Amino acid sequence: MGTRELTITLSDDIFKEVEKYKKSAQKKSTEDAVAELIRYALTIPPYFRDFDWTKAEAEADKEIAAGKTKSFDTVEDFIADLKK
């Protein structure tokens, strides 16, 4: 397997996130962290890449504000409600 060199420019905010990932994943270098993040991003199924998360969050916020939520005392109660 060959390798290629690539130069990228990252905003300070993104670079800080990469550095946090590098530390949490115990990567030896920033380059290793970026390569792993890119490999991961390439494996995300199209459904998740194309999903409009901002729209979904806004819709969820509206549902919550309208009181369209349920609470359960036990997992069993929750599962029973799913089976209805």
Say yes or no to pLDDT of 1 above 80: no
pLDDT tens sequence across 21-80: 999 999 999 999 999 999 999 999 988 888 999 999 999 999 999 999 999 999 999 999
pLDDT of res. 3 = 87
**pTM for the full model?**
0.58
Amino acid 47: pLDDT: 86
Those residues whose C-beta lies under 8 Å from the C-beta of residue 46, and which sit 6 or more positions away, are none
Q: How many CB atoms lie within 10 A of CB 34?
A: 19
The angle that helices 30-43 and 12-24 make with each other, rounded to 10 degrees, is 90
